[in-house]
Amino acid sequence: MNRVILSFYALLIAGLPLAGLINALGYSVGIGGPLATGFTTQYWQQLSTETSLLVSLAFSLYVAISSVGLALLIALALVLNRQRMLRRWPFPALLYVPLLFPSLVVAFYLFQLLSGSGWISRMVVALGLTQTPADFPNLIQDGAGLGIISAQVVMAFPLFTLLFDGLYTDARLDELRSLTRTLGASEGQFNRKVAAPILLRRAAPTLVLYAIAVLGAYDVPLLLGRNYPQMLSVFITARLQRFDLADLPMGYLIGFLLTVGLMIVIYRTTRWTQRHAL
């Protein structure tokens, strides 16, 4: 009985994604896909000419690191400096609100709020601070990815706050705080040298997984991002949905490499956190 359940579980968790990965590899070497003509390494060789891919990878890393970095700074500040506020109604309930919305809804909300013809822009025009909506600064579909980062931070910081708050209680940091204060450490020293390292190390696997999810996010960068540079998932999807079927192998190759790369990152992070567990 357990074996049946285990097989079913393995098929869902590992088998199907692995089959997809093998399929993508098959496309990338010309043995799968609508126009496959037999084994070839031409797409792998062409990879070095894909400069847009490198730009896309760098932009995605920048967005993922910035979003997760900002969100965790906000969450750490709240958990370490605003413990009382976190326990006072309605703050705990409000923290759950952004978590209730799908990412596309958050992206659309920010689009309506921050676009050139959005609510803030119209208010600014009505107040006479700008002449036309076009004078409003580019906060979405901007070169620095501010719109994408804002959306990701709005969705991530409540989750991180709840996570850190749980870990704070588990690690009995309040008691440690009293102890370090008794030993003469300042509030800032306790936060920097004791609490933050403990929370970050314990939360590391979740933070890395979240960063990977941001790296692979599709709907937020599609709505709030530019055509160039594009985040990886938008870049790959565009390749897979182009009008030219001959583009499919390269799209699958990039998707394959990205998946393998992220699997290695997850594996290494898991090993690292196991070795340095607190």
Partner 1 sequence: MHTYRRLLTNLFLLFLTACSSAEQRDPATVLSQSWAQIEARGRNQPVTLMMWLGDPFINDYMNKYVKPEVKKRYGIDLQTAAGQGTQVVQTLVAEREAGQPSQIDMAWINGETFYQLRQIDGLLGPITDKMPNAKLIDFTNPYIGTDFQQPVAGMEAPWGNVQLAIIYDGKTVPNPPRSFAELPAYVKAHPGQLTIPNEFTGMTLLKSWMIALAGNPKLFQGKFREEVYLKWSTELWKQVNAIKPYFWKQGTTFPEQLATLHQLFANGEVAFTFSDNDAEVDNKVNLGFFPKTARAYVPAPGTIRNSHYLGIVKGAQHPEAAMLVVNFLMSPEAQLKKMDPNIWGDHTVLDLSRLTAGDRSKFENLPTRRYAPKRAEIQHLAFQEPAPEYMTRLFKDFRTFVIEAK
233 touches partner 1 (CB under 8 A): no
Please answer whether residues 224 and 148 qualify as being in contact, where contact means their C-beta atoms are separated by less than 8 angstroms: yes
186 touches partner 1 (CB under 8 A): no
243 touches partner 1 (CB under 8 A): yes
Rounded to a whole number of angstroms, the minimum distance from the CB of residue 259 to partner 1 is 18
Q: Where are the beta strands (DSSP E) in 92-230?
A: none
Stretch that binds partner 1, among 27-35, 37-45, 196-204, 267-275 (CB under 8 A): 27-35
Site string for partner 1, 202-231 (x = CB under 8 A): --------------------x---xxx---
117 touches partner 1 (CB under 8 A): yes
For partner 1, the closer CB: 73 or 134: 134
Rounded to a whole number of angstroms, the minimum distance from the CB of residue 218 to partner 1 is 12
Question: Binding residue for partner 1 (CB under 8 A) from 40, 83, 138, 206?
Answer: 138
51-81 vs 232-240: helix crossing angle, rounded to 10: 140
Rounded to a whole number of angstroms, the minimum distance from the CB of residue 147 to partner 1 is 11
For partner 1, the closer CB: 3 or 276: 3
- DSSP of 194-211: IIHHHHHHHHHHHHHHHH
245 touches partner 1 (CB under 8 A): yes
Q: How many contiguous H segments (helices) and E segments (strands) does the chain have?
A: 15, 0
183 touches partner 1 (CB under 8 A): no
Residues 109, 113: Cα–Cα separation, whole Å: 6
DSSP-H helix ranges across 183-247: 187-190, 196-215, 219-224, 232-240
For partner 1, the closer CB: 182 or 227: 227
Question: Binding residue for partner 1 (CB under 8 A) from 24, 29, 33, 212?
Answer: 33
Please answer whether residues 153 and 64 qualify as being in contact, where contact means their C-beta atoms are separated by less than 8 angstroms: no
39 touches partner 1 (CB under 8 A): no
24-28: long-range contacts at Cβ-Cβ below 8 A with a sequence spacing of 24 or more?
A: 24/252, 24/253, 24/255, 24/256, 24/259, 25/252, 25/256, 27/248, 27/249, 27/252, 27/253, 28/249, 28/250, 28/252, 28/253, 28/256
- The binding site for partner 1 (CB under 8 A) comprises 1, 4-5, 7-8, 32-35, 52, 115-117, 133-134, 138, 141, 143, 222, 226-228, 240-245, 248
